[in-house]
A and B are shown apart, each in its own frame.
Chain A
């Protein structure tokens, strides 16, 4: 691996300051929804922060739906593919996913490893990411082709990489999260920390908390493995619904009056959820982690 030489990918990503890979090992623990929340929270951290979100889950791409970008086409420019901007005219939340490239939304992507590898390389080298403060990469479950390819292709910019592990509290999820942590250690991917998702559900009627997927497992695992614990998120049905049915932002939608400080519509609706309030401290931990690792 020519870590010192320039590659098309290192040139393309030369103005990307931090690359955060969100992984889990286990499926369905909330990698995509956490990736979106990390992206939205970092985006909102200042009026100038530029964030990109790359969805490398090629067979089950969820990011476009969550950002209200379902069905959006991708345009080619002379300088590569133009990412789709989730924040309308302001254009500082860029997104790319294989979902944008499918002719029909329900078409399956039935690719073996080499083709997936090639697509991921293209996403890194051919998309006009431009200047970004943060590039969040949402990954599929497992520790396989996509993950190996990412780390290999990103080796010229390895010093700017970090990872976040998402898990739910129960044992079957933690076992897979441990494999993900083993993977990160094998490839020397520094971990910013562990997020324990779906930890508890408050009945909307009486408020009683039920630990539908158990609780506390993620935090104990982080302690045991000496990895920072970024925070706990309970199940938030409002967030689930928001990300399930996000509305598309129109390009000429401009916030008016009081909404100026809310940013684009999805961001405004996200800020009103209980998860957004909890995520504030998670993002602070992420930023301290980045600062500590010397890339901050």
Chain B
């Protein structure tokens, strides 16, 4: 089954290239000239809940009980944002008194449900809103993955619809009291990133961003852009994490570099950009396996050097944000 959202908000009497009645551009672009709906669209009455004036106050109310909000960003795909977000969640949840929520705003490729081992769950709605899915009593998550009819369903949405689901996650989910909210993002610097930053800045604020990279220059190039994005939109950068940093052969125990840091790796980038290198995590094949099976790598393999690296990074983040 496919979720193709593309032309559902285009009325039957609309001209070619109608931007959609719910778009920011509704009624305002060249294509709208002469359309009988132009005036209504331009007045804003057709816009979705994303632009509903009650959205901001509602988000404020929902996030009033959330102490710390962190974005996990990269710019580059496949560097381990979702994996890191999940391990961070589990590490925080090891303390029973800490409540953590994970919001997965990667609408096209939601990996959080799989990595947390809750991919078969669906969201329940009640009078108090949507319930996030609980991995354990003090760790919950929300993701579009829980809303799709099957795991192979593609979400083929343009920006405005993605914007809409993000505002719903903020407005309609009953998180309750949280010590930490971790927001896992897709790669890039586009609609999802602009939307989450805008909503959070207009409401309860964001404490900062953790940037994830791998050592090679093609990844660092994208992370530099992400740093530029954070600075442009005013998000404090908590620090940089280098993933897949070295590999220890299980056979001969020699360490080798799969993704060679041809331009100095995250260490040099952190120095140049004036941000903190929170830590480097080596590539342990059991991380990917744990993610696939939906179990906590930290719990399964407490002796791995990667576990030590993750826990040190979590400690550092808790120091920075005053959670000790």
Contacts and interface: CB of A to CB of B under 8 A. Distances in A.
Interface of A: 25-29, 32, 59-60, 62, 65-66, 105-114, 116, 140-145, 147-148, 168, 170-173, 175-176, 178-183, 185-186, 201, 203-206, 208, 210-214, 235, 237, 240-241, 243-245
A241 B292 contact: no
B162 A144 contact: yes
B159 A145 contact: yes
B247 to A, nearest CB: 7
Contacts of A235: 258
Interface in B148-171: 151-160, 162
A147 B250 CA distance: 40
A114 B19 contact: yes
B187 interface: yes
A28 B81 CA distance: 11
Nearest to A29: B78
B130 interface: no
A142 B187 CA distance: 9
Interface stretch (B59-67, B107-115, B297-305): B107-115
A109 B159 CA distance: 15
A170 B292 contact: yes
B252 A203 contact: yes
A211 B285 contact: yes
B256 A108 contact: no
26 contacts: A25-B108, A26-B109, A28-B79, A28-B214, A59-B222, A60-B77, A60-B225, A105-B224, A106-B224, A106-B228, A108-B75, A114-B159, A116-B190, A141-B77, A141-B108, A144-B107, A168-B78, A170-B292, A172-B111, A180-B154, A186-B156, A205-B252, A208-B249, A210-B247, A244-B260, A244-B263
Contacts of A111: 190
A262 to B, nearest CB: 23
A28 B79 CA distance: 7
Nearest to B77: A27
B268 interface: no
Nearest to B261: A244
Contact of B159 (A29, A112, A237, A240): A112
Contacts of B6: 148
B225 A186 contact: no
Interface string B207-247: 00000001011100110111111001100000000000001
Nearest to A181: B152
Contacts of B288: 170, 172, 212-214
Nearest to B250: A210
Contacts of B114: 171-172, 175
A143 B76 contact: no
Nearest 4 Cβ contacts at the A-B interface: A28-B78, A27-B77, A113-B159, A142-B108
A59 B154 contact: no
B317 to A, nearest CB: 23
Interface of B: 2, 4, 6, 19, 23-25, 75-79, 82, 107-109, 111, 114-115, 151-160, 162, 186-191, 193-194, 214, 216-218, 221-222, 224-229, 232-233, 247, 249-252, 254, 256-260, 262-263, 283, 285, 288-289, 291-292
Contacts of A116: 190
Given A27-B109, A240-B216, A186 B189 contact: no
A27 B262 contact: no
Contacts of A141: 77-78, 108-109, 186-188
B190 A27 contact: no
Most buried by A among B23, B109, B157: B109
B154 A113 contact: no
Given A28-B77, A148-B156, A214-B288, 11 more contacts: A60-B187, A108-B229, A110-B194, A144-B107, A145-B158, A171-B291, A175-B111, A208-B250, A212-B283, A214-B285, A241-B262
A209 to B, nearest CB: 9
A217 to B, nearest CB: 9
Most buried by A among B108, B187, B260, B262: B108
Contacts of A206: 249, 251-252, 254
B86 to A, nearest CB: 11
B2 to A, nearest CB: 5
Contact of B228 (A32, A107, A171): A107
A240 B258 contact: yes
A142 B109 contact: yes
Contacts of A205: 249, 252, 254, 256
Contact of A237 (B107, B229, B260): B260
